[in-house]
Amino acid sequence: MGLFAFALVLAGCDSDGSGMEEPSNTLTQVVSNNNDLSTLASALQAADLAETLGNENATFTVFAPANPAFDNVDVQSLTDNPDLLRDLLNFHVVQGEALTASDLQGRESVTTVEGQELQIGSENGTLTVGGVPVSQSDVEASNGVAHVIGGVLIPESFPRRVSYDLAAQSNSGVISSGVEGTVTFWEYNDSQTLVTLSLDNGPTGESVSHPAHIHNGNASEGGGGIEIYLSPLDGTNTENDANDGTSARLVNRSFDNLAGFNGYVNIHESVDNPVVVAQGNIGANATGTLGAGLSLVDNPTMNTKELTAQPNEGAFSNGVPGQLRLRELTADQTLVTVRLDPDDDNNFEEGPTQGSLQEATVSHPAHIHGSGGAIQDYLSPVDGSDPRARSSQIVPNSVLNSDGIYVNVHESAAKLVNIVSQGDVGSSSGGSGGY
């Protein structure tokens, strides 16, 4: 039954024949009884809001996203985060008033249960809320009114993320059929975004690290220059669950900047053989999938630990000094960043030089080791051709809280025996600053 037909069923002749009788269904029943609103109905249940909107002693105005509004929303990520989901849905609800379309047209904004203002407007004669058109207005209920809308409303306080698919690319390298993956932008603060990469089937099993970049332009046009270096993906050791085929990098771009950026992402086979194994448009060139962002801790701590150069018999025989930066993300996750200082000037490649890593044709794998020497977690390799000589990974706090752990940075995936940098993860020396 369509929404319009369902609205008509709600009304009928009253007992004395004088007109239309009052609706008998609550807003929760209106939503749950309509197939066009089934995704919203499930979300209300997951957020424990179904009972609230079923309260006969309260009055609400609900802006109800129809099912197609969720096509580009990672609903699972929302239901996995009920507190965030509740905030999101409360941005669709006004309490204390049953506002009809005519009531709304006389207002510039309404205050939602979430606490923020929702702008009311008009576009080509169609009523809009938060810039989203109303497709069906004045669906009456016994405790209020619903208006069906064509999009999901996002409050400013909601931590956002958006993901884009990366398609496998046929190539002449060792991974000739390419790999599939995902790039995700996580809102971090007003000027920084956390960018993560993941491979659909985990590490590739090749003895290389896979560098990745954000390029200018559209992927179909090709040839766009590198705009942002991302953290490479470690292709090795498919048998070790500590390597999950992911990487992370905190970049100095706002979420809105990246979500609207005219660009695409390339993942390559290796620094030495940079054939493209995965590729996908982002930002202005693609429709991403919105999801729940990170529940970031307030006032995160950031600790610094020195990595000392390790003499070895490899191509970087003197080793490379560096730092390990640990920044709190969530209650149970930390962003671990390896920063190398190839020319030992204590700038950590904020300047114009790359020292001994200048145009290095390898990436440098890094791992967190336990007291017995076993790898506890794979950090993202450092791209030897990256002018900033750094990489990051999201690590569970349970790993970092283990006793006797330390970090090794190696020459390459093929020459893990050569350790170029090393340091304990235990007590830290403090620190501040960006990445």
- What the chain holds in terms of domains, given with CATH numbers, is 3-149 (2.30.180.10), 160-290 (2.60.40.200), 302-424 (2.60.40)
Q: Which tokens sit at 12?
A: 């009928």
Mark out the alpha helices in 125-267 (DSSP H runs). Answer: 255-259
User: Which tops the pLDDT comparison, 17 or 163?
Assistant: 163
Instruction: Let me know: does 248 contact 380? Beta carbons within 8 Å.
Output: yes
Q: What percent of the chain has pLDDT over 90?
A: 80
The string of pLDDT tens digits covering residues 88-102 is 999 999 999 999 999
Burial class of 401 by CB neighbour count within 10 A (0 to 12, 13 to 18, 19+):
exposed
**Residue of 318, 329, 333 whose CA lies nearest to 396:** 333
Q: What is the pLDDT of residues 269-312, one digit of tens each?
A: 999 999 999 999 999 999 999 999 999 999 999 999 999 999 99
Residues 325 and 339: beta-carbon distance below 8 Å: yes
pLDDT, residue 23, reads: 77
Q: Answer whether 23's CB lies under 8 Å from 142's CB.
A: yes
Q: What pLDDT does residue 20 have?
A: 47
Residue 12 has pLDDT above 90, yes or no: no
Q: Please state whether the predicted TM-score (pTM) of the whole model is above 0.75.
A: yes
Burial call 117-154: b when 16+ CB within 10 Å, e when fewer: ebebbeeeeebbbbebbbbbbbbbbbbbbbbbbebbbe
Spatial separation of the C-alpha atoms in residues 267 and 391, rounded to whole Å: 15
DSSP strand pairing (160-168 vs 181-187): antiparallel
Is residue 432 pLDDT above 70, yes or no?
A: no
Mean pLDDT on 189-193? 95
Averaged pLDDT, 136-165: 96
In angstroms, the CA 292 to CA 74 distance is: 8
Mean pLDDT within 200-211: 94
The rounded distance, in Å, linking the Cα atoms of 330 and 274 is: 35
The answer to whether the CB of 49 falls within 8 A of the CB of 85 is no
Q: Taking residues 326-354, what's their average pLDDT?
A: 88
Residue 223 confidence (pLDDT) above 80: no
Per-residue pLDDT of 342-389, as tens digits, reads 888 888 877 666 777 766 889 999 999 998 899 999 999 999 999 889
Long-range contacts of 177-183 (CB under 8 A, 24+ apart): 178/276, 178/277, 178/278, 179/204, 179/267, 179/277, 179/278, 180/278, 181/267, 181/278, 183/230, 183/265, 183/280, 183/282
- Per-residue pLDDT averaged across 385-403, rounded? 91
How far is the C-alpha of 263 from the C-alpha of 217, rounded, in Å? 5
DSSP codes of every residue in 168-206? E---SSSSTT---EEEEEEE-SSS-EEEEEEETTS----
Token pair 């090393």 is found at 422
Q: For 64-68, 183-187, 192-196, 395-399, which range has the lowest pLDDT when averaged over its residues?
A: 395-399
pLDDT recorded at residue 8: 28
- Cα dihedral across residues 106, 112, 118, 123: positive or negative: negative
